[in-house]
Amino acid sequence: MPKKQTQKTGSDKYVLIIEDERPLAHALELKFRNEGYETTVMTNGRDALEHIKNSVPCIILLDLIMPEMDGFAFLEQLQVANISTKVIVLTNLGQKEDEERVRTYANVVGYFVKSNTPIAEIVRKAKSVISS
């Protein structure tokens, strides 16, 4: 079940976290909130696509392997819908081919292998993208 928070449409302080790994999603949510951001956590791409029709985030943190609609299909649908929100991919897929595949989408501005990346580094990257 998606977790919804009150957010401003198009807010420059609103982060959408699409991650089915609950401990990681919760940790990211807490870290961004401590930094003054509003957050929503969604556990699959299908629900997230519906969500962003009404609440446009300033950045999306996206897992690639999820139920119902994976991150690859989500990126494809963002492109089809002409949604230009920047995306940082968080995944356990460390193959160069996977990174090259997602980097073909103009929205993708970062690619992190979750097991190799501290949450603070993800937050730093997101904040730099948001402020640029």
The domain locations on the chain are 14-131
Residue pointed to by tokens 């003054």: 36
The structure's pTM equals 0.89
Residues 6+ apart with CB under 8 A from 98: 64, 91
The 10s digit of each residue's pLDDT in 69-91 is: 999 999 999 999 989 999 999 99
Beta strands of 19-122 (E only): which ranges? 38-42, 59-63, 86-91, 108-113
- Topology, domain 14-131: Rossmann fold (3.40.50)
CB contact at 8 A, 94 and 114: no
Residues 6+ apart with CB under 8 A from 36: 13
pLDDT of residue 8: 35
pLDDT of residue 122: 95
Residue pointed to by tokens 């976290």: 17
Has residue 31 got a pLDDT over 80? yes
Question: pLDDT averaged over the chain?
Answer: 89
Give percent above pLDDT 70 in the chain: 92
Q: What one-letter code names the amino acid at 119?
A: I
